[in-house]
Amino acid sequence: MDENAKRLKKVNRMLIEMSAGNFFYRIERSMENDTLDALVVALNMTAEEIQEALVHQSYVNMHTTIRHIVEMVFILNNEGIVRKVNKNVSTLLHRDLKNVLDAPFQNLLEESSVETWQLAFEKLDSKTDSVAVNLAFVTGSELRLPSACYIAKLKSHKSKEIDEIIVTVVKHSSDQTELERDLRKKLTKVPYRKKDVGKKKVKPKLSYEDIQKIRKGHDYIRNNLKKDFPTLKEFALQLGTNEFKLKYGFKQLYGTSVFRFLKKERLRKAKMLVQFTELPVKTVANMTGFKSLPHFSRAFHKRYGYSPTTYRKRSNS
């Protein structure tokens, strides 16, 4: 099978996964800069956008129950050999369990993640109980599975040595419709009592229309990252509500303030453009609402640990 046929096979496999509702896989770019590579870039970006739309319920009421989208669990011995896994491992990695068990955990990782894993593994000593890292798995069908991993050591009370290591891979989502229904119920049925004024801050009552306006504001932010953002008072007036309800409702619905959400969205969009396109970094900064390249670079580095240029090089290496 020639190289293009292999690449097409990966594209076909990813389309099948996406049609089944699995948006967490990625295809590694070939750097050929041809039509097929452009298709890979488009697929990766589409999958990430859809996944973010689901996981983006990370901006949700902190009292809401979180539901798992993806979960894999690996139990390793103190040498990093896989001893036990949950059933999702075989399904998500498209691998027969006989090829996973009793083999080094790092064999499941993309080459660029092996060093990250080794460094994290070495940190698990007497002073460090757990480590959180981002790793990329490689499936049996050669798709990439970028994942947030939580690595923790398991020890028995009889020994100071590490007995086992548990690696947990989790991504989260939440039902936004259910959240809004519960929020409406909670806020609109709280009775107002005049004697409570002065004892504690009175929470505003949000109607169904108020919540719809806040949702409209949320969507406006995501779709207009390049534009100058107005003051909160002006933005609230544009939405047909007031500043107090906007700030309170946005925090309740999405778990963050309006401006923090705006900044995170700008950086998230910038990360995708840096990772999946060849656009100049200055162009990316302008497209995501940053007024100067130095400001953009500082914010990007603070958020992702690398400058935009370094992040692009690492993503393409």
Partnered with residue 74 across adjacent β-strands are 85, 167
Cβ-contact 64, 179 below 8 angstroms = yes
Is residue 313 in some structural domain? no
Comparison of pLDDT for 283 and 78, the residue scoring more: 283
Asked whether residue 73 falls in the same domain as residue 163, the answer is: yes
- Among candidate residues 173, 192, 207, the one where a domain is terminated: 173
Domain co-membership, 169 together with 71: yes
Helices 243-254, 176-188: axis angle to 10 degrees equals 130
Residue with tokens 């690398």: 306
Residue 31 lies in a domain: yes
Regarding whether 102 and 78 lie in a shared domain, the answer is yes
Choose among 21, 10, 91: nearest CA to 51.
Answer: 21
Mean pLDDT of all residues in 59-68: 43
Does residue 285 lie in a domain region?
A: no
Q: Over pLDDT 70: what percentage of the chain?
A: 78
- What average pLDDT does the structure give for the chain? 80
Q: What pLDDT is attached to residue 57?
A: 46
Within a domain: 263: no
pLDDT beyond 50 at 192? no
What average pLDDT score do residues 262-269 get?
A: 92
pTM of the model: 0.52
Please say which residue of 147, 173, 199 terminates a domain: 173
The more confident residue out of 57 and 80 is 80
In a domain, 261, yes or no: no
Contact between residue 145 and residue 25 where contact means Cβ atoms under 8 Å apart: yes
According to the model, what pLDDT value does residue 82 have?
94
Give the SS3 label for residue 71.
strand
Counted domains in the chain: 3
Q: Are residues 86 and 74 in the same domain?
A: yes
Same domain, 55 and 109: no
Q: Tell me: do 71 and 91 sit in the same domain.
A: yes
**Predicted confidence band of residue 160 (pLDDT cuts 50, 70, 90):** low
Q: Residue 7 sits in which domain range?
A: 1-59
Of residues 121, 196, 211, 207, the one with CA closest to residue 165: 121
300 within domain boundaries: no
Let me know whether 15 and 83 are in one domain.
no
**Residue 38 falls within a domain, yes or no?**
yes
Structural domain includes residue 84: yes
d(CA 299, CA 292): 11
Q: Which residues contact 238 (CB under 8 A, 6 or more apart)?
A: 230
Higher-scoring residue by pLDDT: 125, 251:
251
Q: Report residue 6's pLDDT band, with 50, 70 and 90 as the boundaries.
A: confident
- Confidence class for position 91, pLDDT limits 50, 70, 90: confident
Residue 101, domain CATH: 3.30.450.20
Strands of the 164-173 sheet, one edge to the other? 82-85, 67-77, 164-173, 144-154, 130-138
Contact between residue 128 and residue 135 where contact means Cβ atoms under 8 Å apart: no
Q: Where are the alpha helices (DSSP H) in the chain?
A: 3-19, 35-55, 88-93, 111-123, 176-188, 208-223, 232-239, 243-254, 258-276, 281-287, 293-304, 308-316
Model pLDDT for residues 34-61, shown as the tens digit of each residue? 888 878 888 887 887 776 665 544 444 4
- Written as six digits, the tokens of 2 are 């020639």
Residue 123 confidence (pLDDT): 82
pLDDT confidence of residue 34: 80
Domain termination site, one of 144, 173, 202: 173
Least confident range from 28-32, 110-114, 156-160: namely 156-160
Kindly state whether residues 164 and 74 are assigned to the same domain.
Answer: yes
Q: Which residue has the tokens 């801050």?
A: 201
